[in-house]
Copies of this chain bind each other. A is one copy, B any other.
Amino acid sequence: MTQISKAQAFREASFGFLTQTLARVFDSKMRAELKKAGIDHRVFANLMMLSEEDGINQRQLGKALKFPEYSVSRNLDIMVSLGLAERRPDPDSRRAFLVYLTDSGRETAQRLPEIITRINDEVLEGLDAQERQQVIGLLRRVMKPGLENMS
């Protein structure tokens, strides 16, 4: 029986620690791959989300991705300047915008799944197919409860 200190057991058993650490790995790999593909790494999460659902406002976009709203605001500025997305006035509220992908944004978004899949496969190499399904299913459940939004 190998000796494991309390602290070690604790850190390795922290869900937050684990997700932060793995998120760093995913992020740095994504940056490198997106650079190769000529896609701006700053916008990939929003791009992916909008390709799933457009015509939502910035708040909703931020909530889905757990991004603070100032971050959505800035990322959208970038996407608009790159011609990937556009803000249209919300007919129901003059203070909100509805966000839509442009054709170019949609085309760019289509190139993402291949990259994301490849990197996920790299990161998940230690798990078999069933375990991958399992961990993904559990993480999705963690997301569900709403997890009150960011600042």
A140 within 8 A of B: yes
> Does chain B have a CB within 8 A of A18?
yes
Tell me if B123 and A16 are in contact (CB < 8 A): yes
Interface residues contributed by chain A, number (CB under 8 Å): 60
Kindly report how many copies of this chain are found in the complex they form together: 2
Interface status of A107 (Cβ within 8 A of chain B): no
Residue numbers in B under 8 Å from A67 (CB-CB): 24
Which residues of A, 95-145, contact B by the 8 Å Cβ criterion? Answer: 109, 113, 116-117, 119-120, 123-127, 131-132, 134-136, 138-145
* Most chain B C-beta atoms within 10 Å of own C-beta, residue among A18, A27, A131, A145: A18
CB interface residues, A 50-86, toward B, < 8 Å? 51-53, 65-68
Q: Name A145's closest neighbour in chain B (CB-CB).
A: B126
Give the distance in Å from the alpha carbon of A10 to the alpha carbon of B45 in the complex: 12
Let me know if A37 is at the binding interface, CB within 8 A.
Answer: no
A88 surroundings in chain B (CB, below 8 A): none
Chain B residues within 8 Å of A20, by CB: 23, 26-27, 45
Chain B residues whose CB sits within 8 angstroms of the CB of A135 once the complex forms = 15, 135, 138-139, 142
Closest 10 CB pairs of A and B: A23-B23, A16-B26, A7-B52, A135-B138, A18-B139, A8-B52, A20-B23, A126-B145, A19-B22, A19-B23
Q: B-contacting residues of A (Cβ < 8 Å)?
A: 5, 7-8, 10-28, 30, 45, 48-49, 51-53, 65-68, 109, 113, 116-117, 119-120, 123-127, 131-132, 134-136, 138-145, 147, 150-151
